Amino acid sequence: MSVRRVVSLVPSLTEAVAASAPPGTLAGVTDWCTHPAGLDAVRVGGTKNPDVERIVALRPDLVIANEEENRAPDLVALRAAGVPVLVTEIRDLPQALRELDRLLTGALGLPRPGWLADAEAAWARVEPVGAWRAFVPVWRRPWMVLGRDTFAGDLLARLGVANAYGCHPERYPKVPAAELAASGCDLVVLPDEPYRFTAQDGPEAFPGIPAALVSGRHLTWYGPSLAEAPAVLADALRAAGATVPGG
């Protein structure tokens, strides 16, 4: 069946489809789908609370989801209403590249986009820009950090950042700020999403530990931003790690 109308429940994949498919392919997207700017599509709620009835009413040929971003009950409800759902699973860079290929050239039947080849090439050339042990908060109140088996952790490892909580049994463990500050790490990596860490909100909790403020879109999104992510992230890490041994 030809796929002409798509609803995307994942911001990264929304951008990937918008950059690769004919205009008008995206019939619906979430409230959190911010790229590309000015996207003309019906908003169907959040990633965790999509409006299932509104999605069904759009009569999509396919709904795109992710096993981490979206809730299983919503996907079950969509399938029960007769809507085809493609669920991606992305835990590291190679898997991201495979899943993007499966979605774009497989499910949507599109030519392989140039940005995907560019992303593969950019990451194939990557070399570590330092040798740091770091923790990576993704939320505050309570503090939560990257744990095991995460896409963002894999990207950072390729750039020379060893995740201090990479072997934690949980993927996003809650860790008190006092424990993080006493972890002995020589770097804290603070993305601007999902929590919007800034120079005034985050680094002050860890005095004496250099902070790398990084673009969350380049660290956590799997889409066209992957092509420029190595350079963007490397620049932020170099700037923060300039005074760190190994940096």
Per-residue pLDDT of 59-87, as tens digits, reads 999 999 999 999 999 999 999 999 999 99
pLDDT number for residue 244: 58
- Residue 42's nearest CA partner among 69, 4, 79, 5 is 5
Average pLDDT on 217-228 reads 96
Distance CA 203, CA 49 (A): 31
Encoded tokens for 150: 């995460």
Encoded tokens for 172: 């996003």
Per-residue pLDDT of 154-205, as tens digits, reads 999 999 999 999 999 999 999 999 999 999 999 999 999 999 999 999 999 9
Distance CA 175, CA 147 (A): 10
Question: Which pTM does this prediction carry?
Answer: 0.94
In this prediction, residue 103 has a pLDDT band, given cuts at 50, 70 and 90, of very high
Q: In this structure, are residues 175 and 145 in contact, taking their beta carbons and an 8 Å threshold?
A: yes
**Residue written as token pair 């409006």:** 51
pLDDT number for residue 243: 56
Average pLDDT over the chain reads 95
CA R_g for the chain: 19
In this prediction, residue 2 has a pLDDT band, given cuts at 50, 70 and 90, of confident
Q: CATH 3.40.50.1980 in the chain, residues? A: 6-112, 129-241
Which CATH class for the 6-112 domain?
alpha beta
DSSP code at position 106: I
Average pLDDT on 29-51 reads 95
pLDDT number for residue 241: 74
Residue 1 has pLDDT above 80, yes or no: no
Distance CA 173, CA 213 (A): 20
Contacts of 195 (CB under 8 A, 6+ apart): 137, 138, 139, 140
Residue 247 has pLDDT above 70, yes or no: no
Average pLDDT on 109-119 reads 97
State whether CATH 2.40.10.10 applies to domain 129-241: no
Distance CA 222, CA 97 (A): 8
pLDDT number for residue 245: 52
pLDDT number for residue 213: 97
pLDDT number for residue 29: 98
Task: Encode 167-178 in three state secondary structure.
Answer: CCCCCCCECCHH
Interior angle at CA 89, CA 180 and CA 48, nearest 5: 70
pLDDT number for residue 11: 97
Encoded tokens for 219: 């660290």
CB burial string 84-121: b at 16+ within 10 A, e below: ebbbbebbbbeebbebbeebbeebbebeebebbeebbe
Question: In this structure, which amino acid lies at residue 85?
Answer: V
Average pLDDT on 139-153 reads 97
pLDDT number for residue 101: 97
In this prediction, residue 242 has a pLDDT band, given cuts at 50, 70 and 90, of low
Encoded tokens for 66: 């992710």
